[in-house]
């Protein structure tokens, strides 16, 4: 008999509270950088793309393809992190994000210099963003599961709100970062975000402990998006994410067509409105969700109601003041719904399924970037105000769904959490 095989495994040494706080801070810093990168790409790519001969629909295709891969691969990485640990997939996702940003910027640079053009240039750009979609999607579900693993069920929604807040803060800082670094060169913001991501990878490698051994890789049923415990959360998440994504993508067009300003003024007006929405969203996640530890059910009811009111104000507005106020109110609601459905889904499943459910929650939100552009263009072409009436209707439907669905009236924490 092999005594070593029969001997009990040495217990894991738990991290200290100070180590855990530092680990969470580093993890949220990496999340903030990813949020910055998203809006940096949105700010930098469109004007450069036209200069190198790409059509607007090709730019849209770059974003949509990465979203497709994100939706497809995120749940897979989340499930794998349940069996193999969170840290490897956090490092994989953030490292792939840095590499994809470098390759993406380099491909664009080839186009600016005239070394590559046409469809070859476009395929290089698509390949770089596909790397982000396929492998970068490993980071968010593993990071959310890492936080969920180390949070008491009674505080899990508040803890996960920190993840959403970090991404939202990054998204708000992205345009400012692009403007400040862009004086160096048009592609400097992309390379800058890649450099920050590399530093975050190094910090996570050194200072993000995961001393609990991965769970045994026993046969387990794959968590399905149709699982009765979570499917209502995913439906809610997809629908409310579409209602959130559409105004962001059409704010500048709306300012031109409804406020009657020129293109230059529209950029400023949309920037003010989107900054107000982002600031309100951040306030909701930090000052409300975390401070008062609000339950998912409350967040999923109050958030859509605020979004509906805000979008109705925007739909009726023909001046900057009401437009900005409506977007602010909408942002406040959006800041509540994300931790609401993500936290609720996390609490609905067992501890061994946290990576899988995080992957599915992220996929539901990311799928909005596939649906929103096409749906938005169809409705906007009919009438600009109709776009915000549509999103107000989606938010109202989500509010009613949150009140009427039995799953959302269940206790906050599952018995397995």
Distance CA 363, CA 130 (A): 15
Helix H segments across 3-86? 3-6, 17-51, 56-84
Q: With cut-offs at 50, 70 and 90, classify the pLDDT of residue 2.
A: very low
User: Tokens 């600031």 sit at which residue?
Assistant: 279
- The pLDDT of residue 415 is above 70: no
Residues contacting residue 122 through CB under 8 Å, at least 6 positions apart: 54, 58
Burial of 86 (0-12, 13-18, 19+ CB in 10 A): buried
- The pLDDT of residue 414 is above 50: no
Distance CA 194, CA 189 (A): 9
Superfamily name with CATH number, domain 227-417: MFS general substrate transporter like domains (1.20.1250.20)
Mean pLDDT value across residues 281-309: 91
- Enumerate the domain spans of the chain: 22-208, 227-417
More confident residue, 72 or 265: 72
Mean pLDDT value across residues 213-227: 66
Taking a C-beta distance cutoff of 8 angstroms, is the pair 148, 413 a contact?
no
Mean pLDDT value across residues 151-159: 83
Share of the chain above pLDDT 90, in %: 42
Characterize 382-407 residue by residue with b for buried, 16 or more Cβ atoms within 10 angstroms of its Cβ, and e for exposed: eebbebbbbbbebbbbbbebbeebeb
Mean pLDDT value across residues 349-376: 87
- The pLDDT of residue 387 is above 50: yes
- The pLDDT of residue 218 is above 90: no
Q: What CATH number belongs to 22-208?
A: 1.20.1250.20
Distance CA 370, CA 39 (A): 17
| 227-417 has the same fold as 22-208 | yes
Among the residue ranges 52-56, 279-283, 378-382, 407-411, the one predicted with the least confidence is 407-411
pLDDT in tens, 115-154: 887 889 999 999 999 999 999 999 999 998 998 888 888 8
pLDDT in tens, 73-126: 999 999 999 888 899 999 999 999 999 999 999 999 999 888 887 889 999 999
Whether the predicted model's global pTM rises above the 0.85 cut: no
What is the residue-averaged pLDDT of the chain? 85
């Amino acid at each position: 008999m092999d005594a070593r095989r029969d001997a009990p495994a040495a217990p894991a040494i738990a991290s200290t509270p100070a180590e855990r706080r530092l680990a969470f801070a580093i993890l949220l810093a990496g999340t903030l950088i990813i949020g910055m990168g998203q809006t940096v790409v949105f700010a930098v790519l469109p004007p450069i793309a036209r200069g190198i001969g790409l059509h607007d629909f090709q730019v849209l295709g770059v974003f949509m393809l990465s979203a497709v891969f994100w939706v497809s691969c995120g749940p897979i990485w989340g499930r794998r992190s349940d069996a193999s640990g969170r840290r490897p997939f956090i490092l994989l996702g953030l490292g792939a994000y840095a590499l994809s940003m470098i390759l993406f910027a380099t491909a664009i640079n080839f186009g600016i210099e005239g070394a590559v053009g046409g469809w070859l240039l476009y395929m290089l750009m698509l390949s770089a963003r596909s790397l982000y979609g396929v492998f970068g999607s490993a980071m968010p579900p593993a990071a959310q599961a890492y936080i969920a693993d180390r949070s008491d069920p009674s505080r899990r929604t508040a803890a996960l709100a920190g993840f959403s807040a970090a991404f939202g803060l990054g998204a708000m800082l992205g345009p400012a970062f692009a403007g400040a670094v862009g004086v160096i060169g048009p592609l400097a913001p992309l390379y800058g975000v890649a450099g920050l991501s590399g530093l975050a990878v190094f910090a996570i490698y050194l200072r993000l402990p995961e001393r609990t051994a991965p769970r045994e890789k026993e046969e387990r049923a794959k968590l399905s998006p149709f699982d009765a415990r979570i499917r209502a959360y995913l439906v809610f998440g997809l629908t409310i994410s579409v209602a959130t994504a559409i105004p962001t993508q059409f704010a500048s067009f709306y300012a031109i067509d409804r406020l009657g300003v020129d293109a230059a003024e529209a950029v400023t007006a949309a920037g003010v409105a989107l900054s107000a929405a982002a600031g309100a969203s951040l306030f909701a996640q930090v000052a409300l969700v975390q401070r008062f530890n609000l339950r998912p059910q409350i967040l999923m009811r109050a958030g859509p109601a605020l979004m509906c009111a805000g979008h109705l104000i925007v739909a009726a507005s023909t001046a900057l003041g009401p437009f900005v106020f409506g977007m602010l109110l909408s942002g406040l609601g959006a800041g509540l719904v994300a931790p609401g459905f993500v936290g609720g889904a996390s609490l609905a499943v067992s501890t061994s399924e946290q990576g899988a459910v995080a992957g599915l929650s992220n996929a539901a939100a990311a799928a909005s970037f596939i649906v929103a552009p096409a749906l938005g263009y169809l409705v906007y072409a009919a009438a600009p105000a109709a776009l915000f009436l549509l999103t107000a209707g989606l938010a109202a439907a989500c509010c009613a769904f949150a009140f009427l669905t039995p799953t959302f009236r269940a206790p906050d924490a599952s018995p397995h959490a």
